[in-house]
Structure 1
Amino acid sequence: MQSRYSNLLVAAGLLLGGVSACQQVPTPSATRPTAPAASPWPTVTTQMRPWTRWWWMGSAVDARNLRLQLNQFKEAGLGGAEITPIYGAVGYEQQYLDFLSPSWLKMLHTTTHTADSLGLGIDMNLGTGWPYGGPQIQPEQAASKLVVQKYALAAGQSLKQKVVLQDPKHPGRAPLVALTAYGSKGERLDLRSKVTTDGTLNWQPTAGSWELYAAFGGNTRQMVKRAAPGGAGLVLDHLSPEALKTYLNRFDQAFASQPTGVRSFFNDSYEVYGADFTPRLLDEFERRRGYDVRPYLRELTSQSTTDQAARLRDDYRETMAELVQENFVTPWTTWIHGKKGLARNQSHGFPGNLLDLYATVDIPECETFGITRFPIPGMRYYSEEAAYKNPPPDLVMLKFASSAGHVLGKPLVSSETFTWLGEHFKVPLANCKPEVEQVFLAGVNHVFYHGTTYSPTEAKWPGWLFYASTEFVPANSWWPHLTGLNDYITRCQSVLQAGRPESDVLLYWPVYDVRHHAPPDKLEMLISIHTIDEWLQPTAFYQDAQQLIKRGYAVDFVSDKLLQQSQVSGGRLQVAPQGAVYQALVVPKVAFMPVETLENIVQRARQGATVILQELPTDVPGLHQLETRRQRLRAITAALNFRTVGAGVQQAEVGSGRVLLAPNVQQALEYRNITRETLTDSGLKFIRRAVPDGRYYYLVNHTATALDSWVALNTTANSMLLLDPQTGRSGVAASKREGNSTSVRLQLQPGEAMIVKTSTTPAAGPLWPYLTPTGTAQPVAGPWKVRFTEGGPALPKAQQLSHLVSWTQLPDTSAARFSGRAEYTTTFTLPTKAPADYLLKLGDVRESAHVWVNGHDAGVVWSFPHECHIGPYLKKGRNELKIEVANLMANHIIDLDKRKVAWRKYHEINFVTLAYEPFDAATWSWQPSGLLGPVTLTPCAPVKF
């Protein structure tokens, strides 16, 4: 055993970091994300900082306010913004700018030029609102649906009705795309040729009773949601190349040959509803699936759950998936590259294979919607859980985007983060931290806030706001404290964008099972974040992913198509030269697998890869040549001669590799000596990045228990650095080699994160200070002077408090309705200053704080635990403590609604609650606000090992 320290005694002069009950010591520059030249942190770039979605309401923007807000972004530590124009504010109609008009483009150029001068980046939604569509889309290129009408005829009867779509709301005449007659004796007749141009059917049955199914290419009539001026219109047909060409032609004309200054163009999640058709779909179905679906129109559109009906729908969904890939996502990406930009796409919701769609673009993007409730002590959630209509964010779902990025080695994976994190005006910064940490743990390294609304200075408080966002706006009470969150994210992303992703297991996603078992009431299968409780969470794939991650395996997902691109070298799988390398391919329990995929899997085993099947696939998807393909599948599985090699594990040797069969895939991984990270046994969560001289481990403690122990990492290292993303401090860690692993000493409070940098070479620099309390916590009792500094509706009078209470309990009634910031000051005396450090605990903070000690900036305290080390700033004798506290926006909003002040004045949806009901805070209770304490000071000393 090798040990970095045998007995660690850290002098106060080396006090440069540390976490746990005695956390790192912040310095006056602790909240600045840019690291000094000698820092062990990666050099910060613009895209390492958090970005924000920037709602342009009515595109009523002007150069002065654009420059002002971009400077506010810069000062707060943001890296850039994504412009998304939407509906406007009432009363400002004269200032609206039509999307892509010369005036609008002038404001775009003002934005990009100003951003460039400030070192900020600009992305742009390639549309307004969502989904794509607009005035250039005519009905024949709009989102389409297959509409079926039924008729009945008996022998000798003629059809009296015209075979035309009976929908008075439908724009124009819908084309007849199929007309199939079904006889009582099993006959199937294609009658399209018997229909005249006016819809008359020239056919009579000679015997029996008949059902006629007529299918028309209808229009969904869906309009762009939340469209901005100049962007309203029909949603385009995402399956049609002609529709996309028409859509993009408007941008070709607007941009001409001028550079846009835009880094990447964005497409939001696919929220196109009922669009299960495109004019060429049935012909494409026949070409791609090998048979004509028109004779099966009755079964295809029925609610039947028979095997045949499910296979027909599966083939139909597969055709849609290929068309949306080939006719939208791929050419859209190519077009963006022609504009010298990057393609950033949210593939969730699309009727395709999410992994393949994400793999096509430059920056795959996932989305968090709602909130996860973490068991961190003291964490408060102010929104009623019943108000959330959708499942909370799910790490497995988030990993679809990052998996595509990891297997192909894409530098960036982004996330639309904090959508509907909580009820309006009731989201503290502390709620953001564990949620964004879950995003990082899923593999995201490029966060976008949802979001920030452009608001002119003349708009009264609270300014312009978007109905579904967490208010990352300068009007928010905690905006000056946002640097704490922004700096934290920047430090994390500087590491998570370094090197390449490092994972252990490639987990096959059985998309054909998902499609086959989808509800029969819809032909399209939208892989949505809002329905994960239906298509994802009940599956064996999901259970395997969760179990492997919980047990300490780093997992990415792979599709049939991506698996075809994989190569094997040295027994390891890799999809792309710059992508992650995997020790094993795991195939969960799957019912339907294409023969070609199984052949490919066995071929990878022959080449030396370790393949683990939870069960042998039992069937093939689709209907064409079903028995032939089933025979091929059975032949492949029969050729695998399994023998028992361990508890619950069977093995078949193929070529230079092996296929393992194990209901518990972890047993098979252990049999192959594919080791896990045992750190998860302590409750820690992790993600890794590989760099030339070692690894980065990003670790998070989301448990209710503090950690102070040795933690083994699945690596051999000669040294380790600890980097605290909360404060930016760093130091050489206590570490020791034990066989093929290296243990590091960690101290982490609930809610805290730590980055461990392992290295093959010895580390230089100061040692990391491990601290422990050496005495009882002493109260900082006051009295406290309280001075309200900024906010509204009016500044309450200054107060002197003998004990800490909520602003809502102060005798000045204006304090209850106040939202903003106040400074608390007090003094205390230290008879001596012997301990190495002192831990300042703020107790109950509503909701964030900024601390100064004797005039020194001790940092922003914005997350749990609400504490910081202040030892370097203390002195013997009299000390002055100043704490700026920001509350939520809620109390000011309550006051406005109680007084019936009109502030919600927007077109379209206006402003709604978390439950999508009209917003009114008049019935809310006043939110506790301010520093509630108790505030204590605890002496700390170095830990002896």
Structure 2
Amino acid sequence: VEAADGTSLYTGSFDRSAAAGDFPERALPAAGFTVAAAAARPTAATAATDVVDLTDRLTGGHTWQVPAGEWQVDLFGGVLLADDSQGYSRSYVDLLDDEPVELFLDILPGEYHRRFGRYFGTVVPGFWDDEPFFASAEAHFKRLPWSPALDRALRTVGVTPGTAYAAAFDDLGRSGRIARGNYWKAVSDRFATAFRKQAQWYEKRGVALITNPLYDETAPAKRIASTGDLHKVNQWAQVPGGDIITAEYVAGEPTMIPRNPVSVAHQMGRERALLEMFGNMGWQVTPGFVHATVGAQAARGVNLTVLHALWTDESRVYFPPPFGPRAPWWWAMRPLAEWIGRVMEAGRGTSAARTALLQPQRAAEQWTGTDRQQDVDGPLAEAAYALERAQVDFDLLHEGALTRDPALLAHAEVRKGRLAVGAAAYDLVVIPRTPVLDADGVRVLREFVRAGGTVIAVGALDTEEADGGDRTLAHALSDLFGDRVPARRSLGRGHAVRVADTGALGAAAVESGTAAAVLDPAQDAVRILRVRRGPDTVFLINNESGAQVRTVAVLPATGLPETWDPATGTGGPAPVYRSTKDGVRVPLDLEPYRTAVVVVRGGRRERPHLTESTVPVRSVERHGQVLRATVEASAAGTHRLAGVDGGHRYHGTVRIDDPLAPLPVDGDWTLIFEREGAEPVTGPLGSWTEHDELFSGSGTYTTDIDVDAARLHGRRVLLDLGDVRDVAEVSVNGTALPPLLWAPFVADVTGHLGAGRNTLRVRVANTLSNERKKPLPSGLLGPVTLRFRRRTTVELRRV
């Protein structure tokens, strides 16, 4: 090949694979390069149908005569996946090929089994992978996946290797997108086979596989290039899992991270869905942030939390924070661990979610890596968050489940008016906006609607059909939904609904009757998970915001409601609720980021209880012809109460004259750091960084207060510490109270505070951020206040 001036540009005879290295765009390695495929196309080609696949001509001395015109010839080769960016080289096993996977199983878990097989299933409960992938993980590999096993896999899904690779690299129009989608489907299927082999190997030996795929924090189209189809990966795991690390969660903001492993767990009938949390999130992680994060993921179905770096060598922490004695607040870890355990246990059971959100996998495969990738990922997340804001609990429904994708274990079947997918069953399916749909899947949804289900489609339905049958898809969508937007259409025993955007999705889903709760007033920040345990339904309720939430929840269940506090492990029959035809109405008072549990016990007889109260109620008991309710007021006022006992109704009124005015704890406090040689300092409350901005550890604040007997008599007394950075332990007159790990930092000091002079000590710990030269406000910032509550018993008389 020569330039116009006769200068030789490239080798003219391509009789050796190494000759391709003459091209300057990418220098090919002299060794370790395997010819994988070849393809040719006219330089002006804009479609995959113009591609001539030359792969089968690469061996056996075949030739190809170039037709007239200007042609582009693509040679595709495989190289070793290796990372040499860290000053050393590490190669990566080919997870798309059976033989390397089998060798891996023999070399690693196989060796464990040869040495410790007698402990498998007891001491060794299982094996946990950590972010496996097949190619292109940023920032070092940046290549498309290849394996010797891909040739057959590509042909199995209906595309030849040369065409598939050409379409994966370049824009070859509509037919190219279909070929690209088939390429990524083949890759995902091969990757999933590695997990099938692992899971079956482990199961045979009585242990479990926990999955944690790379880039599970990203959306379906974005993650494909590194991790493929997570549904097909996680379906094989005995414990589907993932992680939430680095900056992947911000308190108060929604997330999709748990949705895939949780959905798979529900559909595969797995007992647990795991999330590793907090790795590399930073030295500044506090129990308060742990509280917010774990509660939010639990409300999305995670019921097994693993704290990253819990077993880290604390002398060398690579991915902070450490969860161990090195953390300044380690002395408060026990109640945090107990709270996590209670929340996780509350989420165990059989999922009662009745809604499925369709994951348009064919669109993800066809549009990944293009400028329209977000047209797949964005609408899926928007629909998910709209459902969350409306308290609709849901699973992701893989599109292939509707089309009987042979690489999926659980296929959708219409049974008794519901859409059954493995161990799960749904009454509502939501279709997000998507550029591509499979017409076969739409036909299954039409069958589902006719049998009694509901399908809601969001936005326009001007989508392409996954295999090019646009007219077939258009007819199928029109038959199902009609042409108007918005619209609700009866079809058979079910309904097909169209909404213009996600702003109307929540209300439409609630109208379908599948929400986990209906709140009055509505509260966007509340997330609810429901699971069943025998006759009981458990509602795990999380306030995913930094603001107090007060509302009344109608929980779609029948029975006796109980309220439980995971922070203390205490609870019992709800003193205030009302049974209605739509379910049980229970008032909710949720502090910022709080997780609460309501259990509706099926088959239990109702006890005497209140149905209305404007003041918190502690207990209700029957005494002859009256109900006696113990209430607790925080301010003066008059409150009307109503109750029931069997078929009888009761009314009562309580008047609180006590003003219950708070008492500020003013004046100076004495602070002393817990370190050798520390000297006490006295002054007003504030961040201890004013004294030592790089101190990480614990410090104790001390002051004396005088309280007269009249303020204590007949009152419950709370010590409100105000702003604390980051955990606190209150001692009153030498008696230490349980640690306070998150806001509101309030200790019950009733019975500990006496008339006259009292000594208050508040031990506070911050994080390791300060000593790492990233100082943050630390200590007891206040203001500190004594708050009072008046408990009284009121009689409600029968009416």
Q: TM-score, normalised by structure 1?
A: 0.67
What residue in structure 1 maps to residue 287 of structure 2? 429
**Among candidates 810, 815, 822, match of residue 699 of structure 2:** 822
1:874 to 753, 757, 762: 753
Which secondary structure does the structure 1 equivalent of 2:586 belong to? strand
Question: Quick check: 1:281 aligned with 2:150?
Answer: yes
| Superimposed CA distance per residue, residues 383-409 of structure 1 (whole angstroms, 9 cap, x where no aligned partner) | xxxxxxxxxx75223212211112333
With over 3 angstroms needed to count, the CA separation of the structure-2 counterparts of 1:543 and 1:249, relative to structure 1, is same
Asked whether 1:340 is paired with 2:206, we answer yes
Q: Tell me, yes or no, if the aligned pair for 2:720 and 2:784 is still in contact at 8 Å.
A: yes
In structure 2, do the counterparts of structure 1 residues 535 and 470 end up closer, same or farther at CA, with 3 Å as the change threshold?
farther
Counterpart pick for 1:414 among 261, 274, 295: 274
Structure possessing the higher relative contact order (Cα contacts under 8 Å, 6 or more residues apart): 1
Change (3 A) 1:762 1:316: same
- Pairing partner for 2:561 from 720, 727, 731: 720
Q: Which residue of 1 aligns with 2:593?
A: 751
* Conserved? CA contact 1:568–1:608, under 8 Å: no
Q: Note closer, same or farther for the CA distance 1:805–1:554 as it changes in structure 2 (3 Å cut).
A: closer
Asked if 1:556 is matched to 2:395, the reply is yes
Change (3 A) 1:188 1:757: closer
Counterpart Cα distance in 1 of 2:427 and 2:106: 46
How many angstroms does 1:632 deviate by? 4.7
Name the stretch that deviates more: 473-482 or 824-833: 824-833
1:554 and 1:168 map into 2 onto residues whose CA distance is 52
Q: 1:785 to 1:539 in 2, by over 3 A?
A: closer
Q: How many angstroms apart in 1 are the aligned matches of 2:331 and 2:271?
A: 31
- Are the structure 2 counterparts of residues 763 and 419 from structure 1 closer, same or farther at C-alpha, using a change threshold of 3 Å? farther
Which residue of the other structure, out of 810, 827, 838, is the alignment partner of 2:717? 838
The change in CA–CA distance for 1:783 and 1:597 in structure 2 (over 3 A counts) is same
Q: Percent identity?
A: 19
Q: Which of 518, 543, 549 does residue 701 from structure 1 map onto?
A: 543
**Which residue pairs with 2:327 in the alignment?**
476
Q: Distance in 2 between matches of 1:717 and 1:188?
A: 63
1:324 to 174, 178, 191: 191
Q: Name the aligned partner's letter for residue 432 of structure 1.
A: V
- Residue type of the partner of 1:619? E
Shift of 1:495: 0.8
- What is the aligned residue count? 696
**Residue of structure 1 equivalent to 2:455:** 611
Contact 2:259–2:300 under 8 Å retained in 1: yes
What runs of 5+ residues in structure 1 fail to find an aligned partner?
1-153, 376-392, 456-461, 522-532, 894-920
Give the deviation of 1:363 after TM superposition: 1.4
What whole-Å deviation, never above 9, does each CA across 1:3-46 have from its counterpart, x for those lacking one?
xxxxxxxxxxxxxxxxxxxxxxxxxxxxxxxxxxxxxxxxxxxx
Q: Equivalent residue for 1:159? A: 13
Name which of 93, 97, 106 aligns with 1:240. 97
Question: 1:669-727, CA deviations, whole angstroms, 9 ceiling, x for partnerless residues?
Answer: 45545456232713433222223343222223344443455x13233544322211223
Which residue number corresponds to residue 35 of structure 2?
176
Distance 1:258 1:234, change over 3 A: farther
Partner of 1:31: none
Asked whether the 8 Å contact 2:38–2:74 carries over to 1, the reply is: yes
1:190 and 1:674 map into 2 onto residues whose CA distance is: 50
Rounded Cα–Cα distance in structure 1 between residues aligned with 2:579 and 2:85:
59
Paired AA for residue 571 in structure 1? G
Distance (Å, rounded) in 2 between the aligned partners of 1:206 and 1:891 = 70
Superposition deviation, residue 201 in structure 1: 9.0
The answer to whether residue 632 in structure 2 is matched with residue 780 in structure 1 is: no
Q: Which runs of 5+ in 2 are unaligned?
A: 1-7, 137-142, 217-222, 405-410, 609-617, 621-629, 636-659
SS at match of 1:651: strand
| Mapping of residues 427-826 of structure 1, within 5 Å | 427-455=285-313, 463-466=315-318, 468-497=319-348, 499-520=349-370, 535=374, 539-563=378-402, 564=404, 565-577=411-423, 579=424, 581-614=425-458, 616=461, 618-622=463-467, 626=468, 629-630=469-470, 632-634=472-474, 636-637=476-477, 639-640=479-480, 642=482, 648-651=486-489, 653-654=491-492, 657-663=494-500, 664-666=504-506, 668-669=508-509, 672-674=512-514, 677-679=517-519, 681-682=522-523, 683-708=525-550, 711-733=552-574, 734-760=576-602, 761-762=604-605, 767=619, 771-774=632-635, 775-781=660-666, 784-789=669-674, 791=675, 794-797=676-679, 799=680, 801-810=682-691, 815-826=692-703
Q: Quote how far apart the aligned CAs of 1:448 are.
A: 1.2
**Contact persistence 1:514–1:535 (CA under 8 A):** no
Residue deviations 1:829-876, cap 9 Å, x none?
A: 432232431111112222211123344442111111111222143344
Structure 1 residue 617 displacement after superposition: 6.9
Whether the aligned pair in 2 keeps the contact of 1:643 and 1:651 (CA below 8 Å) is no
TM-score (norm 2): 0.78
- The answer to whether the 8 Å contact 2:554/2:582 transfers is no
**1:98 counterpart residue number:** none
Shift, 1:245, TM fit? 0.9
Q: What SS class does the counterpart of residue 341 from structure 2 fall into?
A: helix
Between the aligned partners of 2:703 and 2:756, the Cα distance in structure 1 is 14
Distance 1:744 1:222, change over 3 A: same
Structure 2 CA distance for aligned equivalents of residues 537 and 849 of structure 1: 46
Contact 1:507 1:556 in 2 (8 A): yes
Q: Which amino acid aligns with 2:260?
A: F
Distance verdict in 2 for CA 1:162–1:300, change over 3 Å: same
Which of these residues, 239, 248, 258, is aligned with residue 398 of structure 1? 258
Residue in 2 that maps onto 1:151: none
Q: Give the Cα separation in 1 of the matches to 2:202 and 2:87.
A: 24
The offset of 1:878, in angstroms, is 4.2
Counterpart residue identity of residue 329, structure 2: W
The structure with more strand, counted as a fraction of residues: 2
Separation of aligned partners in 2, 1:484 and 1:617: 53
Contact kept, 8 Å, 2:96 with 2:147, in 1: the verdict is: yes
| 1: CA distance, partners of 2:281 / 2:67 | 65
Determine if contact 2:393/2:515 at 8 Å carries over to the other structure.
Answer: no
The DSSP-based 3-state class of the residue aligned with 1:473 is coil
Paired position in structure 2 for 1:103: none
Secondary structure (helix, strand or coil) at the match of 2:209 reads strand
Are residues 887 and 299 of structure 1, via their aligned partners in 2, closer, same or farther at CA, if it must alter by over 3 Å? closer
Q: CA contact under 8 A between 2:276 and 2:306: conserved in structure 1?
A: yes
CA–CA distance in 2 between the matches of 1:876 and 1:226?
A: 69
Specify whether residues 450 and 719 from structure 1 end up closer, same or farther in structure 2 by C-alpha distance, changes over 3 A only. Answer: same
Q: How far is the alpha carbon of 1:412 from its aligned partner?
A: 0.8
CA RMSD of aligned residues (A): 3.7
Question: C-alpha distance in 2, partners of 1:184/1:719?
Answer: 73
The 3-state SS of whatever aligns with 1:313 is helix
Q: Deviations over 1:64-118 (max 9, x none)?
A: xxxxxxxxxxxxxxxxxxxxxxxxxxxxxxxxxxxxxxxxxxxxxxxxxxxxxxx
1:421 and 1:736, CA in 2 relative to 1: closer, same or farther beyond 3 A?
Answer: same
Between the aligned partners of 2:276 and 2:420, the Cα distance in structure 1 is 28
Code of the residue aligned with 2:354 in structure 1: it is D
Q: Deviations over 1:211-263 (max 9, x none)?
A: 32222222232379999xxxx84111111111101111102134314434322
Conservation of the 8 A alpha-carbon contact between 2:358 and 2:396? yes
Between the aligned partners of 1:395 and 1:696, the Cα distance in structure 2 is 22
CA contact (8 A) 1:752 1:864 kept: no
One-letter amino acid matched to 1:279: P
What amino acid sits opposite 1:714 in the alignment?
L
- For the 8 Å contact 1:213–1:297, the answer to whether it is kept is no
Give the C-alpha shift of residue 552 in structure 1: 2.1
Shift of 1:652: 5.3
- For 2:455, give the aligned amino acid: V
Contact 1:503 1:582 in 2 (8 A): yes
8 Å Cα contact 1:839/1:870 also seen in 2: yes
Conserved 8 A contact 1:676-1:714: yes
Counterpart in 2 of 1:214? 75
- Measure how far apart 1:299 and its partner are: 4.6
Aligned twin of 1:368: 244
| 1:269 is the counterpart of 2:131 | yes
